[in-house]
Amino acid sequence: MESLVSTEWLAGESITSDLRIIDASSHLPDAKRDARAEFEAGHICGAIFMDLAGLIDDDAPVENTLPSPEKFASRMALLGLGDGSRIVLYDDSAIHSAARAWFVLKLFGAQNVAILDGGLAKWKAEGRPLTAEPIDLRKRHFTAWHNAKSLRSKAQMLANIQSRAEQVVDARGAARYAGTAPEPRAGMQPGHIPGALNLPYTQLYNADGTFKDKAGIRAAFEDAGVDLSRPIVTSCGSGVTACVLIFALHLVGKSDVALYDGSWAEWGADPQTPKETGASPAISH
């Protein structure tokens, strides 16, 4: 199974014991949408709801922090996701949250994980069927392990400002990156991590919500000033859309990529962290 599958492929794939379809929709609070209620009203046949927004460390001081491996394994087992499962993720979200689900699953050891290109919107636009019927879930064993190499802490990001060993790429919109638009979270200072480049995640998609081809993805990163031969750390508002960048880089074969999970929710809330404002260096001239 490829990492990016088409609606045609999924429609033609029979639901077998090893295939799991997951609705990984999650929305920002200002969207005023209920992902679970929308799932229950209509979803792809055989799909289960992941509740990505609830798959977090409730005790962490920063919102949307990744859960422990134990919590993640327990949740996956209850969803019927076991070792060896083929997993296809989709969403119906402006923040393309399936990419976050893909990153989390890969981080905790899932091997065969794909995203439905174009998500639920493309599925519906093509007139493909939906159902409101739930499926019976049989608990399976999911062995979780934690790939810490794929994550960066605030301390590591602070050290990187001096070393510049890794390129930091911010997935937020240009105005939030520049500090000219207000942050959606209270208490956030404006701007970006010093030295970070800006590639809004929306620039990696075609008009129909499908991913750009490999040449288009490479061009988007290069136009943002990113050197694809060097290591990359991605960041955003709270660690969700930064995963879109990571998945796109995966599609072009780049693996030396990590996520700053705390992102601006952590960095912007700390008065001691340095901040920059202004347009990205790649476009400031």
DSSP structural state of residue 168: E
Q: Which residue among 236, 243, 258, 259 is the active-site one?
A: 236
Tell me the one-letter amino acid at 130.
L
Question: Are the CB atoms for 116 and 5 separated by under 8 Å?
Answer: yes
Quickly list H helices, 3-118: 7-12, 35-41, 69-78, 98-107
DSSP structural state of residue 204: G
Q: Which long-range contacts (CB under 8 A, 24 or more apart) does 128-133 make?
A: 128/7, 128/11, 128/44, 129/45, 130/42, 130/43, 130/44, 130/45, 131/42, 131/43, 131/44, 131/45, 132/40, 132/41, 132/42, 132/43, 133/45
In whole angstroms, give the CA distance from residue 129 to residue 249. Answer: 32
In whole angstroms, give the CA distance from residue 16 to residue 78. Answer: 18
* Strand partners for 169: 197, 234
Among candidate residues 219, 160, 170, 217, the one with its CA nearest the CA of residue 190: 170
Catalytic-residue membership of 236: yes
Give catalytic residue positions.
236
